Amino acid sequence: MIRNKRTLQITISITLSAIVLALGIVSGVQAIAVFRSTLEKKMAEDSEIIGENLRILIKQVTSEITNQGQAMARIQEILEILEQKNWIEFACVLDSTGRILAHPKREYIDMQVPLEDYKRTALLGTNVPPIDDLKDATDPESAQIYRTSADIITVQWLPQMMTYFCVNQSVAPLGKKIDHLTQVMVQIGLAFVVLIAAGSWISTGRIVGRYESRIGR
């Protein structure tokens, strides 16, 4: 009877632990997906607001400048000031081919950005055109959200300069938050599985023990 008791305890403990583990994995994956989506939407909303404010500022400081080179020099000054203030995001101006015209770090100017890597997202809406078609959109100056493997990017087309204005936010901090959340959830899940296994083992042992004592009377 003792052997059967141990077998029953092991079977029930493993079964309950497996069920709890499976449910925990499914729930954890869903929770992380919701958490990631929420944070990405918040990043996109912040970038949209920042991009619009910077666009208005750029329009004001360049409104009386007719020479595009001088206008870019003024924009460059603004971006460098933001860099000096340790702004965690960064903004840049690209021409229609992706060549950098203004950037907080001067050494990046004239480098080429692969615009084909800018993937459309539905973070702030579903009618996001491919970036090459943004200049032909009904409202090209409205902010659109794109992403690369490294950044979430708000892009606006500046028709007066025939350039893209981009505000980039790195997804690296988001990845760190997701990793931390995953580690915490794994630790909690494992602790819960151990408690379930121990609890089911003890409960099963007590139930079988009572059954044995009644049979022995």
pLDDT at 33: 87
Task: Indicate the number of domains in the chain.
Answer: 2
Same domain, 109 and 71: yes
Same domain, 182 and 111: no
pLDDT at 193: 79
In which domain, by residue range, is 184 found?
Answer: 174-209
Same domain, 153 and 198: no
Residue 192 lies in a domain: yes
Same domain, 42 and 121: yes
pLDDT at 111: 92
Residues 196, 28, 182, 86: what is their CA dihedral angle, to the nearest 10 degrees? -150
Q: Give DSSP secondary structure letters for 10-31.
A: HHHHHHHHHHHHHHHHHHHHHH
pLDDT at 216: 55
Greater model confidence, 138 or 198:
198
pLDDT tens, 68-77? 788 888 888 8
State residue 171 phi and psi, 5-degree precision. -90, 0
Same domain, 128 and 200: no
Residue 19 lies in a domain: no
d(CA 150, CA 103): 17
Residue 161 lies in a domain: yes
Same domain, 199 and 124: no
